[in-house]
Structure 1
Amino acid sequence: MTRLSDATLKNVIVPKPDYDRAAVTDGIVHIGVGGFHRAHQAVYLDDLLGQGKAREWGICGVGLLPQDAKMRDALAPQDGLYTVVARDAEGDQARIIGSLTRYLLAPDDPERVLAALAAPTTRLVTLTITEGGYDIDDPDRPAVAFQYLADALDRRRRAGTGPVTMLSCDNVEGNGRVARQALLAFAGRRDPALADWIAAHVTFPSCMVDRITPQTTDADRALVRDEFGVDDAWAVVCEPFRQWVIEDEFCSGRPPLEDAGAQMTGDVRPYELIKLRLLNAGHSTLGYLGWLAGFRYINEVASDPQFQTFLRRLWDEEVTPLLAPVPGLDLDVYKATLLHRFANPRIADQVARICLDGSAKVPRFLLPSVREQLQCGHTPHLLTLAVAGWLRYLSGTDEQGRPIPIEDPMAATLQERARAGGPDPRPLLSLGNLFGDLAESPRFVAALQSALQHLYSEGTRATLAAYMEGDKSSPAQK
């Protein structure tokens, strides 16, 4: 079997680019070419190219770190081509993506990366550098992306090159605002005049992205080879669903992304909020409670009738009433679609991945709804049980006595307090950076203590059953 490349593309039997890739020029530089970018943004651009549009909006991929060499080594022999396999219960659908025209590794040649970013033809710079990549003060993680961006924008300023749009595609609330704040702060430390120029010549639209994309495994590569006859060193698997909602604040033109299914809007925040409160909160709920019950894959938890019913009630009773209507979006359909996506048996999304970094996720995904319900005079018992699931998970041992690997920047502190408190949540509640004023709410503290005691004394399934029957009293009170 021949390795995927421009030369062998004619032999591939799955859908493939039918446009002239040699005629596509770079208008986009993307920093952080991981699986999500290749399953999401690059697919939208490939769709446009297949429609005969956006020929000046090809993607120049950039890897900034030495470990990105594996992407270079995989994609270079393939001329940037790779396979995307969308998987669900109905089967697998594969296609070859051709929108990535070249890939540059910064440690190999920093000048080529700077030249690409500063080129007049580059009108859009997109980013997937993870949430931590925007922390310019982390001593253990130098802000490499912002070093390159500041240098390149300084070149554009001095050369009189036109404006450019920076579009963060990370799963970060207000990602455009976060990117703008980080870049202006970084540039301002170096040269206040540069920061002023950036503020005047660069726009930072926010966007909301969504497509479940597990990490590619050797089994995935074998599937692409055996099922579709494609020898691809860096295929990517994902779910069929995809969503991209983008604020239309581009200062140097843009590809017609709406023609590929993206939604342009004046304000992405209502869409972000729905995703955070339903999708992300739902994932966390299934993740922590599911792990305690012995599940290791999200689709298995989401396919369990008891967990399905619990999550749907949590959404319907305690989250949806807090959400403002969004034109064109039916929340009942959205929630049903989420459950279908979570239960996709062809996406092996690990519970362990969902449970990562709970100290960053729980305060963003679950606690805002808890706080708003309390402000409305209600005690959100189902949401509180989801939070209690995280606290029980932090003990480091599941209900079968097996160890739980806690991967979190605050792991040592969290585990120490979880083990010290056991069924008493107060040692963890005293972490003000996580719970804030919720620790001062008698109703929340009592509800959380009751939920945590249930989980410790009765286990997850019995607790879910009790809560759905309306019995939220503490086991000690029975």
Structure 2
Amino acid sequence: MIGVQFGAGNIGRGFMAHLFRESGLETVFVEAREELVRALNSRGWYPLRLLKKDGSSVDLKIDKVRAFLPSEKEKISQAISAAKIIATAVGAHNLPAIAPFLAAGFAQRCRESGEAINVLCCENLKDAPQVLQNLVLEHLEGEEERKFVAEKVGFVGTVIARMVPVVDARFGVDDPLFLVAEHYYRLPYDAKAVRGEMPRIVGLVPVKNFVAEMDRKLFIHNLGHAVLAYWGYLKGYRYIHEAINDEEIASILDGAWQEVSKALLQKYPDLDPKEHTELVKDLRERFANPLLMDTVQRVARDPLRKLKPQDRIVGAAMLCMSQGIFPNFVALCLAAALLYDWPEDQEAQKLQELIVAKGVKAVLKEVCELDPESDFARRVLEEYQKLCVRKKEWRK
């Protein structure tokens, strides 16, 4: 039994192939990087280190893997036709590139077995399943094939929460295939999007209210990361686990989580409050794991994207206000994000150029799509001015 994994990067190897292997599946990667494909095929396995919250770690050998280049179209189609499950982790901008391969594989599957199959979309794009389905249908001409995809291929959204830090010399392993990830298995997926029967795969959790699960990931996990990254950067910390051990930053994190948790539980009454509380507690412990050595700059990168109205910070504020909750602590996160000026982050430099050229109010209006005269924006501006003063003190 095989699982086809499009993308052999951090999530592809650091999460999905690991779950496939623990579930008894062979993983067939489809990967564009020739050196990586060659290395995987030559060795037939790769090392994965899982880092636990208690400070221990476990080294795994992920075997039963092989990889194809995009040029090996017939082999890819055959793998898709025979697969038990398919997953994508290629980046939303690369979905158009993999759609033709999926279409050809589904056409072959339609002819050969006609069995239903599901595609786990592990992409940082809210509408990735629908986008990918539409792209695949564009490459199918036969009515029977299009009907097969529409009725028997599930394009299933997932919520990826396993943290996979960038591997470098600090982990002390000189192996181009070596990966590090946190010891976290939970992978929620949209139960309503499944076609046929989902195979038993370790870690997969069916979720009926998938929109609520996505909002929780964005406004708890991603917002929490943003608080730690932007405040951690201002106060001169290198790693996320250092930032969460700062008493002031931890209090802002907890305050933001309390605001957003209350809003989430009000908006989605089918969420279990006890389960939610345990999830937040677990996440706090995971963020504090020193073994991850997740850098502040990695988590803070691309601030312009993260300041958009539907993203983790402003989106969390809008959620709170829609439920009658004023997001005081979320405002502190936004104020800190506006000061992010890491020299090696092009988006951070563009943000600061915008502030110099047009002012902070203009950025709140044009990037965040906030009314600069609203109570929330006024709160952000007030805290921004305070942080400008404190930033100078911290950097003396």
TM-score range, shorter chain: 0.7 to 0.9
Superposed displacement of residue 448, structure 1: 1.9
Q: Distance in 2 between matches of 1:335 and 1:47?
A: 26
Say if 1:87 and 1:237, in contact at 8 Å, map to a contact too: no
Assess, with a 3 A threshold, how the Cα gap between structure 1 residues 331 and 441 changes in structure 2: closer, same or farther.
Answer: farther
Say if 2:16 and 2:87, in contact at 8 Å, map to a contact too: no
**Aligned residue for 2:69?**
105
Is residue 91 of structure 2 the alignment partner of residue 130 of structure 1? Answer: yes
Q: Distance in 1 between matches of 2:376 and 2:7?
A: 40
Superposed displacement of residue 83, structure 1: 3.2
Size of the alignment, in residue pairs?
386
Say if 2:227 and 2:252, in contact at 8 Å, map to a contact too: no
Is residue 5 of structure 2 the alignment partner of residue 41 of structure 1? Answer: no
Q: Which amino acid aligns with 1:263?
A: V
For the residue of structure 1 that corresponds to 2:375, the secondary structure is helix
Is residue 115 of structure 2 the alignment partner of residue 162 of structure 1? Answer: yes
Matches within 5 A, 1:289-438: 289-316=231-258, 318-324=259-265, 326-327=271-272, 329-363=274-308, 364-393=311-340, 396=341, 404-408=343-347, 413-421=350-358, 424-431=359-366, 434-436=367-369, 438=370
Matches within 5 A, 1:23-102: 25-26=1-2, 28-49=3-24, 57-63=25-31, 65=32, 68-98=33-63, 100-102=64-66
**Aligned residue for 1:443?**
375
1:180-231 CA distances to partner (integer Å, 9 max, x unpaired)?
A: 3333145337748465552233111222222111122244362xx8xxxxxx
Q: Distance in 2 between matches of 1:180 and 1:192?
A: 20
Say if 1:247 and 1:268, in contact at 8 Å, map to a contact too: yes
Q: Distance in 2 between matches of 1:319 and 1:407?
A: 30
Q: Distance in 2 between matches of 1:202 and 1:104?
A: 22
Q: Distance in 2 between matches of 1:89 and 1:353?
A: 23
Superposed displacement of residue 41, structure 1: 2.2
Consecutive unaligned residues of structure 2, counting only runs of 5 or more, are none
Q: Distance in 2 between matches of 1:202 and 1:59?
A: 19
Q: Distance in 2 between matches of 1:449 and 1:327?
A: 35
1:26-53 CA distances to partner (integer Å, 9 max, x unpaired)?
A: 2x2110011223232222233333xxxx
Assess, with a 3 A threshold, how the Cα gap between structure 1 residues 199 and 441 changes in structure 2: closer, same or farther.
Answer: farther
Q: Distance in 2 between matches of 1:278 and 1:201?
A: 34
Superposed displacement of residue 282, structure 1: 0.6
For the residue of structure 1 that corresponds to 2:40, the secondary structure is helix
Matches within 5 A, 1:249-268: 249-257=193-201, 260-268=202-210
Which range moved further: 32-41 or 82-91? Answer: 82-91
Q: Distance in 1 between matches of 2:274 and 2:161?
A: 15
**Aligned residue for 2:152?**
201
Assess, with a 3 A threshold, how the Cα gap between structure 1 residues 377 and 210 changes in structure 2: closer, same or farther.
Answer: closer
Say if 1:298 and 1:349, in contact at 8 Å, map to a contact too: yes
Say if 2:55 and 2:291, in contact at 8 Å, map to a contact too: no
Superposed displacement of residue 337, structure 1: 1.8
Assess, with a 3 A threshold, how the Cα gap between structure 1 residues 36 and 178 changes in structure 2: closer, same or farther.
Answer: closer
Q: Distance in 1 between matches of 2:393 and 2:242?
A: 15
**Aligned residue for 2:386?**
454
Consecutive unaligned residues of structure 1, counting only runs of 5 or more, are 1-24, 50-56, 135-142, 226-231, 397-402, 463-478
Q: Distance in 2 between matches of 1:359 and 1:456?
A: 19
For the residue of structure 1 that corresponds to 2:338, the secondary structure is helix
Larger Rg: 1
For the residue of structure 2 that corresponds to 1:83, the secondary structure is strand
For the residue of structure 1 that corresponds to 2:383, the secondary structure is helix
Say if 1:420 and 1:427, in contact at 8 Å, map to a contact too: no
RMSD value over aligned CA atoms? Answer: 2.8
Assess, with a 3 A threshold, how the Cα gap between structure 1 residues 460 and 289 changes in structure 2: closer, same or farther.
Answer: farther
Say if 1:116 and 1:122, in contact at 8 Å, map to a contact too: yes
1:411-453 CA distances to partner (integer Å, 9 max, x unpaired)?
A: 67533212224xx42121232xx423x2265212211211211
1:361-406 CA distances to partner (integer Å, 9 max, x unpaired)?
A: 333112122123334455322211211111111xx3xxxxxx5322
Say if 1:299 and 1:344, in contact at 8 Å, map to a contact too: yes
Q: Distance in 1 between matches of 2:392 and 2:320?
A: 24
Aligned counterpart for 2:161 among listed residues 194, 210, 213: 210
Say if 2:47 and 2:177, in contact at 8 Å, map to a contact too: yes
Q: Which amino acid aligns with 2:253?
A: L
Which range moved further: 374-383 or 361-370? Answer: 374-383
Q: Which amino acid aligns with 2:11?
A: F
Q: Which amino acid aligns with 1:350?
A: T
Consecutive aligned runs of 4 or more in structure 1 exceeding 6 Å deviation: none
For the residue of structure 2 that corresponds to 1:212, the secondary structure is coil
1:111-152 CA distances to partner (integer Å, 9 max, x unpaired)?
A: 3223322x2x22422101123334xxxxxxxx2112322333
Which range moved further: 440-449 or 149-158? Answer: 149-158
Q: Distance in 2 between matches of 1:435 and 1:460?
A: 25
For the residue of structure 2 that corresponds to 1:392, the secondary structure is coil
TM-score of the superposed pair, with normalisation by structure 1: 0.73
Q: Which amino acid aligns with 2:138?
A: G
For the residue of structure 1 that corresponds to 2:118, the secondary structure is strand
Say if 1:37 and 1:128, in contact at 8 Å, map to a contact too: yes
TM-score of the superposed pair, with normalisation by structure 2: 0.87
Say if 1:128 and 1:170, in contact at 8 Å, map to a contact too: yes
Say if 2:361 and 2:372, in contact at 8 Å, map to a contact too: no
Superposed displacement of residue 81, structure 1: 4.2
State the percentage of identical aligned residues. 20
Say if 1:87 and 1:347, in contact at 8 Å, map to a contact too: no
Aligned counterpart for 2:105 among listed residues 152, 157, 160: 152
